[in-house]
Amino acid sequence: MLGKKGFNSQIIIYILLFIYSLFILAPVYVVLVSSFRTSEDVFKYMTPFSWRTLIPTKITFVAYVDIFKEINFGRALFNSFFISIMSVLGGLVVNSMAGFAFAHFRFKGRDILFVIVLVTFMIPFESIAIPLYNFIRQLGLVNTYTGLILPSIANGMIIFLFRQFFKGFPQALFESARIDGASWFTIFYKIVLPISKPVIVSASILMLILKWNEFFYPLLVGNSPEYRVVQVAISNFFTQYQTKWNLLFAGVILAAIIPILILLPLQRFFVQAVTGTGIKE
Amino acid sequence: MKTDRYIIFIFLFPALVILFFFKVYPLFYAVIRSLYSYSFIKHTLNFVGLINYIKLFSDPVFLDSLKMTLKFNLIVNPLQVIMATLIAVLVNQRVKGINTFRTLFYLPVAISIPIASVIWGLLLKPNGFINGILSLAEIPKQLFLISQTQALYCIILIISWIGFSYWMIFILAALQEIPLQIYESACIDGASPLQRFIYVTLPLLKRAIVFIAVGATTANFLMFAPVYTLTQGGPSRSTHLLMYEAYESAFSYSDVGRSNAIVVMLIMIILIVVGIQLRVLRTED
C-alpha cells in the first residue's frame, strides 16, 4: 500500500478495476447503442452475439424523435426538470435558513429540536408513503405541482449540512453588522450566503439528484400523464409498450443523462454532501 | 446576541412545518391507522385494535412474503456491505489513473433504481444482451426475470449494481481519513498487505461499516421499485417482497389498515435486525 507497488500487484489491481468497470459500463453502453437502432434491430443482434451487437451498423435517431411524438416524453422531461429545479430552489431557502438558525441563534429547546430534525432524516420514505399519499389527497394536492414539490423541500440532512457549514462562521462576523442595525435577513442574504458557495453547490447537487431520481412518491401522487415525471413514465412504459424497445432505450438515456452529467464532474461536492463530511472548498 | 423571537421563528418555521406535516405526522398516522379497519358496507372507519396484525400471521400470502423478504435481505445486505468495502479498498489503491476509475465507479449512483431496473430488465430478457454473452460460452438461454428460481437474484443484482457504488462512497471517505503513518509503522513491523488490511484497516473502518450496514439494511428491507417495474411480485410470487405487498394491500385490495400494519411490521423487523447488527458489530472490539 505504500510507495510504488510491485508489478504483479499492479496487474492484479488493474485487472480487477477493469472487470468492475465492465460491470458498470456494459449495461449503459448497451442501452446507449440500442437507443440508436430501429425497434426491429434492437434485439436482432443481441443473440447470437457478434461484433454487431456492440457496434451498430446503421445509426438512426428515430427513437429519440418518436419518444417525443408518440408517448409525449417531452412532458415527462419537463415535469422532472420543473419539479426538481423548484425543489432545489425551495430547499435551498428553507433548509439554509433553518441550518443558520440552528447554528447561530440561541433559543430554548434548540438542541433537542435539532436532534428531532436529524431523526426525521432517518425516517425511510416507504414507511410514510401511503399515509402521506392519503394526507396529500385530503389536501387536494394529488396531481398538482405543489403536491409533488412541497413535502420534500425540507430535508434533515441538508439542514445538518448547512448548520455544520455555518457554524464555521464566527459570531464576530455578524456583530458589527448587527451593531450597524442590519436585520438578520440582510446579514443572511447579503453577508453569509454569498460566501457559502461550497455548501450551496453540495446541497443543490444532492437535492437535485434525489428529486430527479425520486420514484415512489411521484408514482403515488403524480401518476397522471400530465404530471408524470420521467421515472414514473419510463417505469410505466416498460410494462405497457412491449414492442418499441428502442424508444424505451432512448428514454432511459434521456432520463439518466441529467443526473450523470451533474454527478460525475461535481462528484467531490456530492460526496461531501452525502457523507456529511466538512464541506471544503 | 439578542435575537427577536419572531426572527428565529421565520428562519425555522418553514422547515419545521414541512418536516412535521409531511414526515412526522404521516408516521404517527401510519401506526394509528393500522389499528383501524374500513367497512365498505357501512362506510365507517372502525377501531379494531391489533386485529390487522393478528390476521397477518395467519395469512399465507403475508407469511410467504415475509419469508422471502428475510431470505432476500439475508443475501443482499452482507453482499452489499462486503462488496462496498472491497471496492472502496480497490479504488483507494495508489495506481496511475485511479481517479478515472473512481469517477467511473460513481456512475451507478447517478442512476435511479427504476431506471436501473429498466436497463437490466432489458439486458436480462431471454433474447437480451446477457444471454447473448452467455451464448458465447455456449451456455443456454436463461429465463432470469421470468424464472421462479432466478428472478429474486436478478433483483439482488440490479439493486446491488447501484448499491455497491453508493455504499462504497462512505467506506472510501473513511479510508481516506486513515493517516499513512499507521500503514508505515505496520510495514516496519513487518506486516503483510493482508495482515495490514485485517488488523489495521478494518478496525479503523468499523464505524463506516456499521453505518453502511444499517443504511443498506433499512433500504433493502423496504425495497419496492424493481418489483413494481419488472416483476409485479412474480413469477409465481417469487419476488413478492413485503413492501410490494403493502402497496398492493392499499391500492389493489383497498385495505389501508392492513397496508399500514405491514409497514409497521417492516419497521419493527428493521429495528430488530439493526439492533442485532449493532450488538454484533460493536462487541467485536
Handedness of CA B233, B237, B240, B245 (dihedral sign): positive
- Judging contacts by C-beta atoms under 8 Å, the chain A residues touching residue B18 are 94, 150-151, 153-154
Among B9, B109, B131, most A C-beta atoms within 10 A, so best to mutate, is: B109
Domain membership flag for residue B7: no
Across B100-107, average pLDDT: 95
Question: What's the complex ipTM?
Answer: 0.90
**Count of structural domains within chain B:** 1
Cβ of B141 within 8 Å of Cβ of A183? The answer is no
Classify residue B139 by its DSSP letter.
P
Contact A238, A248 (CB under 8 A): yes
Residue where the block lists cell 445486505 = B77
Name the residue type at position A55. Answer: I
Contact A71, A65 (CB under 8 A): no
Domain membership flag for residue B239: yes
Task: Kindly indicate the confidence band of residue B284, based on its pLDDT and cuts at 50, 70 and 90.
Answer: low
Residues in chain B: 285
Q: What is the pLDDT of residue A5?
A: 62
CB atoms within 10 A of CB B249: 24
Cβ of B112 within 8 Å of Cβ of A212? The answer is yes
User: From the CA of B61, how many Å to the nearest CA of chain A?
Assistant: 20
Residues 6+ apart with CB under 8 A from B142: B126, B130, B131, B134, B150
Domain membership flag for residue B18: no
- Judging contacts by C-beta atoms under 8 Å, the chain A residues touching residue B36 are none
A80 interfacial to chain B (CB closer than 8 Å):
no
Domain membership flag for residue B192: yes
Domain membership flag for residue B42: no
SS3 B131: helix
- Nearest by CB to B132, which of A25, A47, A214? A47
Q: What is the pLDDT of residue B240?
A: 96
Contact A70, A251 (CB under 8 A): no
Residues 6+ apart with CB under 8 A from A205: A262, A263, A266, A269, A270, A273
Q: Residue B102 sits in which domain range?
A: 50-283
Among B107, B154, B189, B201, most A C-beta atoms within 10 A, so best to mutate, is: B107
Domain membership flag for residue B9: no
Instruction: Name the pTM for this structure.
Output: 0.91
Domain membership flag for residue B141: yes
Domain membership flag for residue B2: no
- Nearest by CB to B263, which of A130, A134, A232? A130
Q: What is the pLDDT of residue B1?
A: 47
pLDDT digit string (tens) for chain A, length 281 residues: 455 567 788 899 999 999 999 999 999 999 999 898 887 777 777 666 777 677 777 888 888 988 888 888 999 999 999 999 999 999 999 999 999 999 998 888 899 999 999 989 888 888 899 999 999 999 999 999 999 999 999 999 999 999 999 999 988 888 888 888 888 888 899 889 999 999 999 999 999 999 999 999 999 999 999 999 999 999 988 887 667 888 899 999 999 999 999 999 999 899 988 887 655 54
Which domains does chain A possess?
Answer: 7-65 (no CATH), 71-275 (1.10.3720.10)
CATH classification at residue B62: 1.10.3720.10
Range from B23-27, B192-196, B225-229, B251-255 carrying the lowest mean pLDDT: B192-196
Own/partner long-range contacts of B276-279 (Cβ < 8 Å, ≥24 apart): B277/B210, B277/B213, B277/B214, B277/B217, B278/B210, B278/B214
Cβ of A256 within 8 Å of Cβ of B110? The answer is yes
